[in-house]
Amino acid sequence: MILKAKAFNADINDDWIAWAIEMIEAGYESESLFILAGKMRPYNQFELHNLTDKVLHELKLDYRDKDVVLRNYVYYLISISIDKPAVYYETLRELRDICIDLDMDDRYVDFYLLYYAKDDLALDEVQWYWSDANRDNIDHIIKDRFQMWLDEFNQQNIEHKL
């Protein structure tokens, strides 16, 4: 989430401070990380963007390739959600937002459509976003689409390494 936010040049907020504290608790050490963990509101965005650049550089976390960061983040979201239908709606909401942020990028449109299909089916018997999806099979469709995305991701990574 942090690398995604940095790749999209999002404002630094309390999530960054919590992340810095978690990183320190996990054993990571860097002067800039300690400084970030101690920041308090109100946040100076200019100062914090420079500081977070230093933190990520010191921790050797690369966010410059927005496409790679985003694909890895989507992989992470899907991989922790695939067998948990109770969180499909939350995961799809995040993926829908990514699709919107990327001007309806074709790689993420299915998640956008599945989000609205699931949303409509929570309130009604019918939806118009995903062909043949209904209350009985929507979670199965979502799981299948998640698995297809993971398989494509893994195949692309294998091909890239060759």
Cα separation, 51 vs 48, in Å, equals: 5
pLDDT at 138: 98
pLDDT at 59: 94
pTM of the model: 0.81
pLDDT at 47: 96
User: What residue ranges do the domains of the chain occupy?
Assistant: 2-58, 66-161
pLDDT at 1: 81
pLDDT at 96: 97
Q: Along the chain (162 residues), what's the average pLDDT of each consecutive run of 10 residues?
A: 88 95 94 97 95 95 90 95 98 96 95 98 97 98 98 87 62
* Alpha carbon distances (Å) from 46 to 9, 36, 54, 62: 11, 13, 13, 20
